[in-house]
């Protein structure tokens, strides 16, 4: 596949996938998701690749969903069925794929990881971050529920109470807090992040990759076996929210840079 919204490079048995669509801060629309899924599968099938790095170009790892697209199409009769529903399912499928991959997937986050981008990062096997990184469960601001597996992953990472607080507040979690909560493995200066993560990935690539694979299988059996059933419920609940008046008000207010006036409908 010829990629338009991401870049892939390979060196020293490490494949680096870089989300790279500046007009939307690397937003996760369906085209981006399709390209990302293909790039992950190509890395998984490439015998020369031992470790994968996922990162983002520009000033953000990923800005979440493409809100301008949502605003443009939210009144379409088939918006949930043909636009957002397939995207929500695809993103959860990608996270599930990462969890089932034989190869370790390291995420390098610089700048904002918002909404689905936040949960895509959390879906990787390890997360490294720049000091300027921030993680936002930004869904509540546009009256949506967490997607991309966030409602499944985050409670398992930080506990139910902290996860719920992040979901309902939508506040940014800065890099230092993410490190304290063990969401992030290690912090690096912004300009050194990718070099440091690449160096670590290259060291891992020289290790016992079969053991890594089986450790991931053990982790999946221990932590993530119910993910597939959860993903269907996630898409159902998100679809209900996407039909709401609050959702339309949320995306309108976001684009107009004002506080939304939600009504609960």
Q: Residue 18: inside a domain, yes or no?
A: yes
Longest Cα pair distance anywhere in the chain, in angstroms?
Answer: 56
In a domain, 260, yes or no: no
In a domain, 201, yes or no: no
Instruction: Write out the two tokens for 89.
Output: 């399912």
Residue 182 in domain:
yes
CA dihedral 86, 89, 91, 95 (to 10 degrees): -160
User: What stretches in the chain show pLDDT beneath 70?
Assistant: none
CATH code of the domain covering residue 237: 3.90.226.10
Domain encompassing residue 22? 6-191+209-255
| Partner residues linked to 249 by β-bridges | none
**Domain tally, the chain:** 1
Proportion of the chain in helix, strand, coil states, percent, rounded to 5: 55, 15, 30
Render pLDDT for 74-113 as a digit per residue (tens, 0 to 9).
888 788 887 788 899 999 999 999 999 999 999 999 999 9
The pTM is what?
A: 0.95
Nearest by Cα to 131 from 171, 184, 169, 181: 184
Place of tokens 């680096």: 16
Tens digits of per-residue pLDDT, 226-261? 999 999 999 999 999 999 999 999 999 999 999 999
């Amino acid at each position: 596949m010829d990629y338009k919204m991401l870049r892939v490079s390979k060196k020293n048995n490490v494949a680096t996938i870089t989300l790279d669509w500046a007009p939307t801060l690397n937003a996760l629309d369906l085209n981006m998701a399709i390209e990302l899924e293909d790039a992950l599968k190509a890395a998984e099938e490439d015998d020369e690749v031992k470790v994968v790095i996922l990162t983002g170009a520009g000033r953000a790892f990923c800005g979440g969903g493409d809100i301008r697209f949502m605003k443009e199409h939210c009144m379409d009769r088939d918006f949930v069925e043909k636009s957002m529903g397939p995207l929500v399912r695809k993103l959860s499928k990608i996270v599930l794929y990462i969890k089932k991959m034989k190869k370790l997937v390291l995420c390098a986050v610089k700048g904002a990881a918002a909404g689905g981008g936040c949960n895509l990062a959390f879906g990787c096997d390890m997360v490294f971050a720049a000091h300027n990184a921030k993680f936002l469960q930004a869904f509540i601001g546009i009256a949506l529920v967490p997607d991309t597996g966030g409602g499944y992953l985050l409670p398992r990472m930080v506990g139910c109470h902290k996860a719920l607080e992040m979901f309902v507040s939508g506040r940014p979690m800065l890099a230092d807090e993410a490190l304290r909560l063990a969401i992030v493995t290690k912090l690096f200066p912004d300009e050194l992040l990718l070099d440091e993560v690449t160096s670590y990935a290259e060291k891992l690539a020289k290790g016992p990759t079969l053991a890594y694979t089986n450790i991931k299988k053990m982790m999946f059996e221990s932590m993530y076996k119910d993910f597939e059933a959860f993903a269907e419920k996630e898409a159902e609940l998100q679809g209900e929210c996407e039909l709401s008046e609050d959702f339309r008000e949320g995306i309108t207010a976001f684009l107009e840079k004002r506080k939304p006036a939600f009504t609960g409908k």
